[in-house]
């Protein structure tokens, strides 16, 4: 994969007096920002040493109440009770909490898509998640200041939006920004309008008047075992792009390049299993030619090392993926208490050899598409165990927003949309907050943890002991 380079040298990972740094982290945690974590942010490092924090922007923090009503006030619920509407989180809110995240040990922030969305309800749901794009070259006006120009084109030189302020504030703290992007689809049917797509305010495609064949028109997927249907038919009624259309491919790549030119450091790519691998090979090659240092990972939902197609994608597409296989095993073993316990987790890790770069997989225990871990098991100690496991295992750990504050809502089992509550607390002394801070530091100080080989030394359903090592030439 492009992110693994043979010219790394041991000097990249040198740290003065690492034992002292570790001792300072393990010691009694100091109050309110007294703990010095600057050493985490003083070196340009390999992405495998990052600790990612995933934020649903609308549900994190409202830093600018003036933008809450947005273009359509009916889609905003000021009381935060209608789970299908916007609740006010925005980019200023993320900026306001960057020091909180830095003190947590977060080094890379992944935000849900920031593109302009359709302003209507679909099945009583607004596009608060960011996956129903209207214009890939404009910012969602709900996330920026009321007077900001949402056009990425028109502000390319001035760089004077709240988004640009966020990029600058992140980079001042030596933190990275991960942009969530969607190449597979645009938006569903809203009152007879479907797949209306714009290029900086100019309409360029319409599913219901598709003379230039921007979209596939094969209906919804009915057989999820049929690869052709998965790649060509609609997912949940969303207008599905026709990747054979060169105008579409040019548009989506030019849009993403503009965002990279504004300071985005990495890309998370939605619904990658729904497009053929040749498209992704072309896409990643073009993007990496434009920005060779960008890190890219995709969402192949419920990928697994035993699934040949998801393994082939991971090895041949030019990007890595979210590690659903390990996630599911951790949830079954630690949240749901399967009899196999850690053996189930080890069964997944034993198949790491199937991947060209298992240490680049993005590891996690929950996200915005599944119940939070504590909706399955409310025991905070089991949550700590699960987080500690991904923080010390191979792969790049990703923490879903609020996990460190034990955030969860168990309504209807915690399923969507109840897995996206508003962030409520910002305490820096919770046991889990301290765990993440400590282990993020260890991942930076000891590259064997973040980039080394891992093997099991002792295993029972209730106990697992692993070793890690790395060879640096």
Query: From the candidates 299, 323, 366, 435, which is the catalytic residue?
Result: 299
Q: Tokens 């992110």 belong to which residue?
A: 3
CA 464/CA 457 separation, integer angstroms: 8
Asked if 270 is an active-site residue, the reply is yes
Give first-to-last CA distance, the chain, whole Å: 19
Cα–Cα separations (whole angstroms), residue 209 to 136, 143, 374:
20, 31, 46
Q: Quote the crossing angle between the two packed helices 431-445 and 18-26, to the nearest 10°.
A: 180
Q: What three-state secondary structure class fits 408?
A: coil
Q: Tokens 């609020």 belong to which residue?
A: 402
Query: From the candidates 64, 234, 270, 366, which is the catalytic residue?
Result: 270
- Give all strands (DSSP E) within 368-463, no chain letters: 396-400, 453-459
CA 1/CA 319 separation, integer angstroms: 7
CA 439/CA 224 separation, integer angstroms: 39
> How is residue 422 annotated by DSSP?
P
DSSP codes, 196-228:
-EEETTEEEE-GGG-TT--B--S-B-S-TT-HH
Cα–Cα separations (whole angstroms), residue 52 to 110, 149, 231, 364, 440:
7, 29, 29, 10, 10
CA 310/CA 304 separation, integer angstroms: 7
Tokens of 222: 């009915």
Q: What are phi and psi of 178, to 5 degrees?
A: -110, 120
Q: What three-state secondary structure class fits 45?
A: coil
Asked if 412 is an active-site residue, the reply is no
| Peptide linkage before 213 cis (omega within 30 of 0) | no
Mind telling me the catalytic residues?
Answer: 270, 299
């Amino acid at each position: 994969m492009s992110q693994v380079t043979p010219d790394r040298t041991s000097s990249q990972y040198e740290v003065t007096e690492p034992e002292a740094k570790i001792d300072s982290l393990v010691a009694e945690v100091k109050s309110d920002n007294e703990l010095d974590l600057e050493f985490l942010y003083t070196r340009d490092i390999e992405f495998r040493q990052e600790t990612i924090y995933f934020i649903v922007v609308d549900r994190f923090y409202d830093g600018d109440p003036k933008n809450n009503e947005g273009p359509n006030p009916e889609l905003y619920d000021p009381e935060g009770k209608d789970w299908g509407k916007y609740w006010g989180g925005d980019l200023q809110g993320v900026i306001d909490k960057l020091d909180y995240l830095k003190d947590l040990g977060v080094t890379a922030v992944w935000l849900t898509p920031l593109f302009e969305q359709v302003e209507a309800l679909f099945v009583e749901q607004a596009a608060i998640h960011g996956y129903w794009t209207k214009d890939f070259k404009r910012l969602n006006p709900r996330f920026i200041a009321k007077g900001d120009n949402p056009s990425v084109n028109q502000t390319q030189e001035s760089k004077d939006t709240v988004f640009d302020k966020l990029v600058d504030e992140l980079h001042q703290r030596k933190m990275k920004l991960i942009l969530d992007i969607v190449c597979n689809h645009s938006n569903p049917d809203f009152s007879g309008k479907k797949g209306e797509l714009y290029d900086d305010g100019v309409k360029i495609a319409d599913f219901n008047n598709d003379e230039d064949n921007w979209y596939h028109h094969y209906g919804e997927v009915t057989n999820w075992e049929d690869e052709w249907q998965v790649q060509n038919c609609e997912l949940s009624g969303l207008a599905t792009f026709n990747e054979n259309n060169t105008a579409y491919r040019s548009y989506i790549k030019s849009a993403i390049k503009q965002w990279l030119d504004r300071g985005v450091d990495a890309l998370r790519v939605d619904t990658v299993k729904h497009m053929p691998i040749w498209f992704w090979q072309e896409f990643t090659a073009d993007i990496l030619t434009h920005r060779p240092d960008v890190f890219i990972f995709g969402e192949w939902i419920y990928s697994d090392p035993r699934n040949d197609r998801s393994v082939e994608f991971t090895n041949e597409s030019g990007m890595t993926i979210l590690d659903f296989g390990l996630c599911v095993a951790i949830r079954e073993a630690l949240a749901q208490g399967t009899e196999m316990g850690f053996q189930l987790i080890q069964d997944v890790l034993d198949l790491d050899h199937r991947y060209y770069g298992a240490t680049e997989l993005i590891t996690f225990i929950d996200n915005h598409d599944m119940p939070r871990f504590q909706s399955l098991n409310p025991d905070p100690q089991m949550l700590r165990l699960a987080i500690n496991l991904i923080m010390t295992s191979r792969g790049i750990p990703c923490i879903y927003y609020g996990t460190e504050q034990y955030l969860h809502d168990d309504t209807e089992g915690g399923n969507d949309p109840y897995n996206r509550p508003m962030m409520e607390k910002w305490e820096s002394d919770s046991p889990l907050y301290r765990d993440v801070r400590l282990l993020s530091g260890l991942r930076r100080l000891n590259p064997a943890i973040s980039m080394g080989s891992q093997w099991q030394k002792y295993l029972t359903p209730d106990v697992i002991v692993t070793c890690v090592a790395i060879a640096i030439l």
